[in-house]
Every structure is written in structure tokens, then in C-alpha cells.
Amino acid sequence: MSSIHQQSIKEAAAYIRGQKGVEPQVGLILGSGLGVLAELIENPVSIPYTDIPHFPVSTVEGHEGELLLGTIHNRPVVLMKGRFHMYEGYGPEVTAFPVRVMKELGVKSLLVTNAAGGINTSFEPGDLMLISDHLNMTGTNPLIGPNDPDLGVRFPDMSQAYSRQLRQLAKEVAVGQGVALREGVYAGLLGPTYETPAEIVMLRTLGADAVGMSTVSEVIVARHAGLEVLGISCISNMAAGILDQPLSHDEVMETAEKVREKFLALVMAIIPKM
Ligand code: HPA
């Protein structure tokens, strides 16, 4: 089974390589509102997911499915425009596939961003949070099943899931830009419901500073593959029960839109140094 999987990864990567002869060094998976980064890629080649052998296809409106290859300040990158969420019905291993293809293409480090609800009450909507660590609260794991030792070890170390070195780099770039950067623990849940206030109290008790519905399975696979990971959350709203108001996807998108310029500037400055 695992060799079939490996062959699918190799076939997908071979197809992508055939479209653009540059080996990407940095992989980018960007959450709600940061899709516009795609427009800042120099000499982009766009490959619809539907054209890539074995590639999953995203279903959610507003999450386009294409892979972009090009450069950012001369650094070769591959960007997933549209990611796969488990609440769409995909198994966690589906989120794994593109990350493994990135690794096969030559990627060494991965930048993941997301929109997240603020659990830490000192946060405010619009804050950017460097992810220092995560809580996998999805109840599953993308590495369940037979392990292919060519892809990674059976029991991967997660003690530095988010690279200390890349976090230091992000902090330095943020200081240089005068952008305030929070730091904290991201709790990744399945969704698609937002949390109840009681769940937010639970997550805070467990040490979470922010909560969202993505990222953890991608990061697990990235670590399995030996990629260095940098994660940044946009705090798009305060989590349930903190403010006396309902949560909505509109609020999430509005905040993401408001901080887009500062988020983009930060990310654009970090990528060439990753
Ligand atoms: N909870 C879960 N996911 C989210 C939130 C939230 O409050 N905001 C943005 N994504």
C-alpha cells in the first residue's frame, strides 16, 4: 500500500516539475484572506489541482484549488491556493498528500497561516500570532496506518513542531517592520461548528491561546517529512463566550481583510529568509 502511495507522490511531483523547471525551496499554505499572496509571486505558473495526478480537489467556495510555482524575492516557492479541511469531509491523510508532494519537489521549509479565534483574553481581533506549538484536538492523525519509512519515521518527534529558528527569524522581521507579533499555542479542531463557550474555557485551561480548524494535520505530515515549519495565525475574532456576540464567518473574513496588508508585508519579508 505504501509503495503505491509513494508512486502517487512521485507522479504528482513529476507532473508539476514538467510545468516549471525550478525547484521550490519554500512551501506556502495560506489561510482565509491571504490568498492574494498568490498575486505577488513572480513569474508564476498556475496548475489547477484537477490537472495534477492523484491530487485531491477542494470543494469549498472561495477556496480555489491551484498550485502556484514561482519566486518571491528570488526565492523559489510553491503555494497551495486552497487547502483541504477535514470539515469538508476529507480524511486527515488527504491534507497530507500535497505536503508530501512539496517535499518530493525539494521544499525544505513550510509556512502555514490561518485565521483563528483568540482564546487568550489579552489578544484582540487583528493581532498576528506566531504559533509556538499546537494541540491536536481533531481526534485523529494523518499518519495513522502503515508507515512508509521512506517518507518518515513511525513515531515522529513533535517537540519542536514549529521551528525555534524560524520563529526567531519571524520575530526579527516583525521587529524590523514595526509589526506587533503575539506568540502562543494553536488548538486545531475539526469544526465546522465554532466552539461553545464551555469548549473555549476547556481549551484555555489546556493551554491554548487560539483556536482554528486547520493546520495541525499539515504540520504533523510536514514534521514527518522532515520539513521545518513556521506558523502564523491571524486572530480574526475573539473565541466563543469572550464577547457577548455570536461568531460568524463574515467577521473572520472582514478581519482577515483588514490586516491583509500588514500580514502580507510580514510574510513577504520572511519568505526569502526561510
Ligand atoms: N474558532 C474556530 N476556528 C476559527 C475561529 C474560531 O473562533 N475563527 C477563525 N477560525
Would residue 73 show up in a list of annotated catalytic residues for this protein?
no
Residue 175 backbone phi and psi in degrees, to 5? -60, -45
With contact defined as beta carbons under 8 Å apart, do 111 and 271 qualify? yes
Per-residue pLDDT reduced to its tens digit, 132-158? 999 999 999 999 999 999 999 999 999
d(CA 23, CA 9): 16
Burial class (CB in 10 A: 0-12, 13-18, 19+), 153: exposed
φ, ψ (nearest 5 deg) of residue 212: -155, -175
Domain holding 22: CATH number?
A: 3.40.50.1580
5, 32, 104, 194: the catalytic one is: 32
Ligand 1 centroid–CA 10 distance in Å is: 35
Instruction: Quote the number of domains for the chain.
Output: 1
Ligand 1 pocket, 129 CB below 6 A? no
| Span of 7-16, 53-62, 130-139 with lowest mean pLDDT | 53-62
Digit-coded pLDDT (tens) for 210-220: 999 999 999 99
Determine the Cα–Cα distance for residues 257 and 264; give it in Å rounded to an integer.
Answer: 11
Q: Is 212 in the pocket of ligand 1 (CB under 6 A)?
A: yes
CA-only gyration radius of the chain, Å: 18
Average pLDDT rounded to a whole number, residues 251-257: 88
Strands (DSSP E) found in 157-260: 181-188, 210-212, 228-238
For atom 3 of ligand 1, the residue with the nearest CA is 212
34 lines ligand 1 (CB under 6 A): no
Q: Which domain holds residue 130?
A: 3-273
Say if ligand 1 is within 6 A of residue 234 CB: no
Q: Is residue 123 within 6 Å of ligand 1 at its C-beta?
A: no
pTM over 0.85: yes
Question: 132, 249, 253, 254: which one is catalytic?
Answer: 249
The beta strands (E) that lie in the chain are given as: 26-29, 42-48, 66-72, 75-81, 109-118, 128-136, 181-188, 210-212, 228-238
Q: How far apart are CA 20 and CA 181, in angstroms?
A: 35
pLDDT tens digits, 187-199? 999 999 999 999 9
Return d(Cα 17, Cα 128) in angstroms, integer. Answer: 34
- Is 52 in contact with 58 (CB distance < 8 Å)? no
